[in-house]
Amino acid sequence: MDPISLLVIAAISAAVAAAVISWRTVQNWIAGKRVRAGVYGGTARIINERMQNGNYRVVAGVFDSLGTLKAQQVWKGGSLDHELTSRFQQNEGVIVVHF
């Protein structure tokens, strides 16, 4: 691989590792998908996973009242903000938001 490609890959990896996944980001995404999908009486479920490289992956899904997945989003970052960490701890690793 040429040196420029290696530098680009290293820069992208460093940016992901430095990124903080915040509760506000997740909450705003859920609110937007709930309105567009017309989901009332549904839920959003959020889970996180610590990857082998130490980074985090947070996955959110918006479900209608029948449990059908309407929207899904994945965020990757080097850490979680305090609010998101606290919510995961309070809810045993799975955050459920009811509409």
pLDDT in tens, 59-74: 999 998 888 999 999 9
Half-sphere exposure of 36 (CA within 13 A, CB side): 9
- Residue ranges of the chain with per-residue pLDDT less than 50: 6-8, 10-11, 14-17
- pTM value surpassing 0.85: no
DSSP state of 41: S
Q: Is there a contact between 16 and 76 (Cβ–Cβ < 8 Å)?
A: yes
The 3-state DSSP class for residue 83 equals helix
In the chain, the number of structural domains is: 1
Structural domain of 20: 3-98
